[in-house]
Structure 1
Amino acid sequence: MINGIIFDLDGTLVDSLVDLADSMNKVLANKSYPTHTLAEYQYFIGNGIRNLVRKALPDTVQNEVEITQCFDAMMEDYAQHCLDKTKPYPGIIELLEQINQREIKCAVLSNKVDDLTKKIVRELFPKQRFEEVLGSRFDIPRKPNPEGALFISDSLQIPTSELIFVGDTGVDMEVAQNAQIRSVGVTWGYRTREELVDHGAQHLIDDPLELLQLLG
């Protein structure tokens, strides 16, 4: 029986690709570094914004000083523009409404920094109930480390055997596996079906409302 669902944020609940790419490309352009396409950013996302910055920078400037400087600049811009073009995927609002009606508890676990994760969820899902919204924090390692998922399991007071983890990347499938939570890969996000399967997805869904069939 499923009593709780942990959702990834970017690429699962919301399409934030353009806002992330725009902010990082501004930083790169200001440094006279090459910018990147949206297709490239699809593979930069998933392991936190600092790693996105690292991947976006040219190999010739891969040092911690430059990464930190560009990370700070990117975060300053992104904090102001993270909701310019970011929107829930089609069907997500309806899915969450139906889950809430079934009184199944929901949570969000993201590798995006905690304050921005909470801001996006608060602004884009004002009527949907999330028991816990957790982004990247200094005291909890990022996915695929299972600590964040286990923290949510404890917070919701739901054992991992009664949870499912829904995400769009191999990292999401790995954190589910590491926390011994049933995994659901979504194909509308930023990565391929093959990546999801290769990283242990137990189920794949092509449309948000298909998740309801797994809930019984």
Structure 2
Amino acid sequence: MDVIALDIEQINAIVFDLDNTLVSSNLDFNWLRDQIGCPSNIDLLTFIDKLDCSQSALKAKQIVLNHELDDANHSTPMQGCHELLKFIEQHHFSTAIITRNCLQAARQKVAHNKLNISRIISREHFPPKPAPDALLALANEWGLASYQVLYVGDYVYDLQAASNANMPSCLVTHGHVHPFSHHASICVSELDELLTLFTVNQNDESSTG
């Protein structure tokens, strides 16, 4: 996985993962795997998509949906979330959410947490991360080069998606050490740390402009 260098002065768009990046999530993937019969070494969404029996697939998707909606109703904004989104709005950055959640659950989380992001891309729209399709589509939609879009997430899939799209990435660690951290262009403990980096850069540009 290639690490794409971040030039913060060139960034015109910030795209976010949703769960445990913008809002909290307590999705229990081990429980879901047990309910659906998915082995631990296979991606859950991939497993469901490859189920031979349509009834089994529908049942599995409903179990996941119910769990996602329950999680949405109990989610809370992550540290620095609203402050960073306010900065993005004030400075006219393009922004969006790319999530492996279904659209219904993602919209519920955005509404429940009053996030001012209207562009939501879910697993129904493009192949789920780490596929780069959604990121590339956004860059094309906004008329931006890959290096002008920063993708922010909390998991290796997010870093892989950004790398596959030839885009810089930001890993939000929440103070934890991850074996995949070195694949991120930049690591921050919380979103307010990322906000500080952009604020400092904006102030530097103002003082030299």
Same fold (TM over 0.5): yes
CA contact (8 A) 2:69 2:105 kept: no
CA RMSD in angstroms comes to 3.4
Cα distance in 1 for partners of 2:156, 2:29 equals 24
Indicate the SS of the match to 1:164: strand
Cα distance in 2 for partners of 1:22, 1:140 equals 22
1:153 aligns with 2:120: no
1:45-194 → structure 2 map (5 Å cutoff): 50=45, 65=53, 68=57, 71-78=60-67, 80-126=69-115, 128=116, 130=117, 132-137=119-124, 140-188=126-174, 192-194=177-179
Please, which moves more after superposition, 76-85 or 6-15?
76-85
**Once the 2 structures are TM-superposed, how far is the Cα of residue 212 of structure 1 from its aligned partner?**
2.4
Question: Relative to 1, partners in 2 of residues 1:81 and 1:179: Cα closer, same or farther, differing over 3 Å?
Answer: same
**Once the 2 structures are TM-superposed, how far is the Cα of residue 83 of structure 1 from its aligned partner?**
2.7
2:207 matched residue in structure 1: none
- 1:60-119, CA deviations, whole angstroms, 9 ceiling, x for partnerless residues? xxx755963652341352355233311111221112112211221211111112232233
**Once the 2 structures are TM-superposed, how far is the Cα of residue 51 of structure 1 from its aligned partner?**
5.5
- Greater relative contact order (CA < 8 Å, ≥ 6 in sequence): 2
TM-score by length of 2: 0.74
The percent identity for this pair of structures is 23
1:15 aligns with 2:1: no
Relative to its length, the structure with more strand (as a share) is 1
TM-score by length of 1: 0.71
Give the unaligned 5+ runs of structure 2: 1-9, 202-209
Cα distance in 2 for partners of 1:147, 1:76 equals 23
1:195 aligns with 2:180: yes
